[in-house]
Chains A and B, each alone.
Chain A
């Protein structure tokens, strides 16, 4: 390292010294193995015995198939979008799309998955960033999608589309911002997010909400608070105290807001919630709200009747070695109550709860028994049972990125890998998300060439 410049402030010198003191002394051997394996990617099938399978899944899932996917997809499907479905949002317009190109597969579990392409616009053509999920289920049936684009100054715009079945989508409107979560009260939807996530921290980013009853017109509102930095509102729930929204700061503390109508918000200081409580999910439960999260090294839950006063209701098991138990997304359980498919670093605990506030470790699956080994599976309850989806793992025969994978289960403990339409096998996915409106199940994934859906 060079000597600090003489005209640097002492803060800059401190930063320089801190960075120099934080660097690792050696690179992991996996990097050399990666290099060797990548450069030896021919002949097909070649694989170093020491290759780390778990990391490989992420690695080549993100990269190796990128070069061929556009050609493969283009040859498999005939994109036939109307102008209304192009990337430019069409305010209030109805996309008269031709029937979505689909292919189907009937699986042993009875599911009938249809591949849907070309219905949702590509948010960032040519960009590798997978972004977060775009499709949300509506409790009154159907789905809404927010397709977020950002300009060079990080200002976000979301194209809003709706669908009754997950397969045919209609452009409804556009929002100035990035939507992260949605809560409902009857026909009223309250979306939360931010105006320009990841911006330069110069005061141009704001915590935002948008309220609608028809997805065509929206009333936007700014939630009070300093949104500098990569901050957005990530959670919103509706309960007896109205809407409660939450986010976390980069320093780990939580920010809460409350609103009676979803348009007028006030900051609230949570009482009884430790500063270092991290949220995995915030949901509405009987009589109030549940904050499902973790404290440093173990899962925990808190209950609040109003979003302000919180009481810790449960503390989960302590870590096993360096592996920390976590809750995951909380779902209604088949037969009543709640279920959460959580994670330890190498195993998958299944949590059950009668009230969403007290949890029992029902069973712990090995990674081989659970969906999405080495990936980040998402879970949902559909009309025929539980469904899990995850981004692709590596195809050891071709060294190419893997397609998304989908599993089903009727009890949450025994999972069957679903058979998907053959064309999916050529489509890489870093992540896959699953949502259901109770009638249809939609699996979503993104790659450089667009957003793709599987609908059942």
Chain B
């Protein structure tokens, strides 16, 4: 049964330090089961350590290509996840569940792309591009090639090539068939390849 999974499975490197005002905030009409579930939710979110936050923020940044939007999207995903806790049936699936919420928020924001000012992210580089060829392409071709992708294509590209997730793992996060993920990846790569080709030729 889902609720019997030990909460320790959810904990990151930090031990949760629950605010006493939260755990003691029981409503008079709240059943024991409700109280347990609420405390589980608090524990799960408290175990949302810095590494998880950074990973989520990075995912949103790569999909949206805008740090301010990514910050808002991650905040929104946290709030949505909190309010939709009852849709998580298996606590051990927290990461998959939260990723799905986050990419859905990113997808919705991309549908309002006119309000998103795309900014160059290279000034926030964590590490340099690994080779000269990739480095040249990144500045000249990859950014516009990526930006012409559909929201769903962006998401599968980031999950596949940054998160290193398999097709099946991506399908699970997006709640779509594996074939759909393969199709999106195929068309995303095709689109990016076409956009990159002229500049790639020029840099040779």
Select one of B122, B148, B184 contacting A200, CB under 8 A. Answer: B184
Contact with A along B87-117 (1 / 0, CB 8 A): 0000000000000000010001011111100
Mark B residues whose CB is within 8 Å of A: 19, 21-22, 25, 41-42, 45-46, 48, 50, 53-54, 56-58, 61-62, 67, 70-72, 74-76, 78-80, 82-84, 104, 108, 110-115, 121-122, 124-131, 133-135, 137-138, 142, 144, 147-153, 157-158, 161-162, 164, 183-184, 187-189, 191-193, 195-196
Bound together, the chains give a CA A64 to CA B111 distance in angstroms of 22
Of all A-B residue pairs in the complex, the 6 with the closest CB atoms, nearest first, are: A63-B79, A250-B148, A17-B134, A18-B138, A19-B162, A14-B134
Partner of A229, one of B48, B82, B191: B191
Known: A17-B134, A27-B57, A201-B188. 10 other contacts (CB 8 A): A2-B164, A22-B124, A24-B54, A24-B126, A28-B57, A58-B75, A63-B80, A66-B84, A251-B144, A251-B195
Q: List chain A positions with a Cβ less than 8 A from chain B.
A: 1-2, 10-28, 30-32, 34-35, 38-43, 46, 55, 58-60, 62-64, 66-67, 128-132, 197-202, 228-230, 234, 249-252, 376
Contacts of A132 in B (CB 8 A): 112
In the assembled complex, 21 residue pairs joining A and B whose CB atoms fall closer than 8 Å, in A order, are: A14-B137, A17-B134, A20-B127, A20-B162, A21-B125, A30-B75, A32-B53, A34-B79, A38-B45, A39-B22, A40-B19, A46-B21, A55-B71, A58-B75, A63-B82, A66-B83, A129-B108, A130-B108, A200-B152, A229-B148, A252-B144
Interface on chain A toward B: helix, strand, loop, or mixed SS?
loop
Residues of A with C-beta under 8 A to B153: 200-201
* Residues of chain A lying within 8 A (CB to CB) of residue B111: 129, 131, 197-198, 230
Residues of B within 8 A of A201 (CB): 149-150, 153, 187-188, 191
Nearest Cβ in chain A — how far from B135, in angstroms? 8
Could you tell me the distance between the alpha carbons of A25 and B45 in the complex, rounded to whole angstroms?
A: 22
Q: In the complex, what distance in Å separates the CA atom of A228 from the CA atom of B41?
A: 41
For A62, A64, A201, which residue has the most chain B Cβ atoms within 10 angstroms?
A201
